[in-house]
Amino acid sequence: MARVLTGIQSTGVPHLGNLLGAIIPAIKMSQDSENESLFFIADLHSFTTIRDKKTLEHNTYATAAAWLAFGFDTKNNLFYRQSDVTQVCELSWYLNCFTPFPMLANAHSFKDKSDRLSQVNSGLFTYPVLMAADILLYDAEFVPVGKDQIQHLEITRDIAGAFNHIYKDSFVIPEAKVDEKVMTIPGTDGQKMSKSYNNIINIFLDDKKLRKQIMSIQTDSLGLEDKKDPSNCNVFKIYQLLASEEDSNKMEEKYKAGNYGYGHAKQELFELICNKFSSQRERYNHLMSNTDIIEEELIEGAKKATLIADKVLKRVRNNIGY
Ligand code: ADP
Ligand code: TRP
């Protein structure tokens, strides 16, 4: 059985890109009985940038609710909140003492963030070390991540290798699992959908707000009667990712025939999202109105995660001489 672990930062409500690019594929992977999956909400990582109690709490619940609404099986896997298993902070310190300063200074994500943010704290700098601790604390073998996280996995492997070189058999060396098939989902402006670009589709909004978001998808200025090229249209690109092949073909024909406006296509996309995700939207809203259910799941998950974390940390402390 392979141990698969991944974390997702709780920086907002998961959007359609997060769902199609990360959450749904990860849940599919967890359904393989050959795997044992550990998924956690990286709320300690969020603390590098979020400074508001309500926002931090809300984002954690919203992220957890999305995973649960899409059917993550918490009974046969582990689902927990990073900050509930404080052993990760202790391990992070040991790993910090094994991390060459230039390795962190050269990390793309740090360079990128330190260029963009007005205040750069050292938590942002050591972010990859905490991430290494997240992974090594649970003897994870495979870590599904997006391409942007590959360097962090390389850092994890380097730190673990250097540590094992002196303190033999302390850590399992993990492997990144990057799904090349997962496409980048475009946002309402055609760029990669991202919280940072203000171009998201949040399927958990109420109908009116969701419709407004879909109506805001940018298109060219061709008129109703004009024939249109679906391959150049953001509405069609998103529709195609969600619809059956048959329905996509039908929409493609309508674009090419003319007398079919972008407003029509957007309305079809809105209806598709409402139908396709109706049970998930309902479950999400139920959970967000009853956060005690989420809290219970996370506490139970943390209890199971702590058992593994204690065992690994004991091994490491013993190897160091503490
Ligand atoms: P954001 O760009 O909105 O801040 P994150 O960087 O927090 O998103 O990404 C969380 C997960 O969702 C990652 O695994 C990432 O690869 C995936 N993801 C984010 N945006 C997209 C997208 N537009 N298409 C596909 N996957 C995405
Ligand atoms: N850094 C990851 C991201 O921004 C989130 C994360 C934190 C993570 N710890 C992790 C992912 C451990 C995989 C394993 O997406």
Condensed to tens digits (0 to 9), the pLDDT of residues 250-290 reads 999 999 999 999 999 999 999 999 999 999 999 999 999 99
CA 221 centroid distance within chain: 34
Residue nearest to atom 26 of ligand 1 (CA): 21
Top pLDDT among 22 and 207 is at: 207
Which helix H or strand E contains 143, and what residues bound it?
A: strand 142-144
Domain that holds residue 266: 204-276
- The residues, ordered by sequence, that sit 6+ positions from 304 with a Cβ below 8 Å of its Cβ are 78, 80
Q: Is the same domain home to 296 and 269?
A: no
Closest ligand 2 atom, residue 8 Cα: 5
* Domain-embedded: residue 281: no
Tally of domains within the chain:
2
Q: Which amino acid is at 50?
A: I
Q: Is the same domain home to 308 and 218?
A: no
Residue 181 has pLDDT above 80, yes or no: no
Strands, sheet with 142-144, edge to edge from the N-terminal-most edge strand: 78-81, 35-42, 2-9, 142-144, 175-177
Q: What sign results for the dihedral spanned by CA atoms 117, 113, 182, 173?
A: negative
Residue nearest to atom 9 of ligand 1 (CA): 18
Q: Is the same domain home to 50 and 118?
A: yes
Angle (deg, nearest 10), helices 262-276 and 234-242 = 30
pLDDT in tens, 74-121: 999 999 999 999 999 999 999 999 999 999 999 999 998 888 888 899
Mutational test site, ligand 2, from 5, 6, 138, max ligand atoms within 8 Å of CB? 6
Q: Is the same domain home to 89 and 161?
A: yes
Instruction: Report the pLDDT averaged over residues 171-192.
Output: 91
* Domain-embedded: residue 174: yes
Q: Is the same domain home to 264 and 296?
A: no
* Domain-embedded: residue 270: yes
Residue 7 near residue 134 (C-beta atoms within 8 A): yes
Instruction: Report the pLDDT averaged over residues 292-310.
Output: 98
3-class DSSP assignment, residue 186: strand
Q: According to the model, what pLDDT value does residue 116 have?
A: 87
* Domain of residue 29, CATH code: 3.40.50.620
* Domain of residue 226, CATH code: 1.10.240.10
Residue 26 CB less than 6 A away from ligand 1: no
pLDDT band at 148 (very low <50, low <70, confident <90, very high): confident
Residue 174 CB less than 6 A away from ligand 1: no
* Domain-embedded: residue 194: no
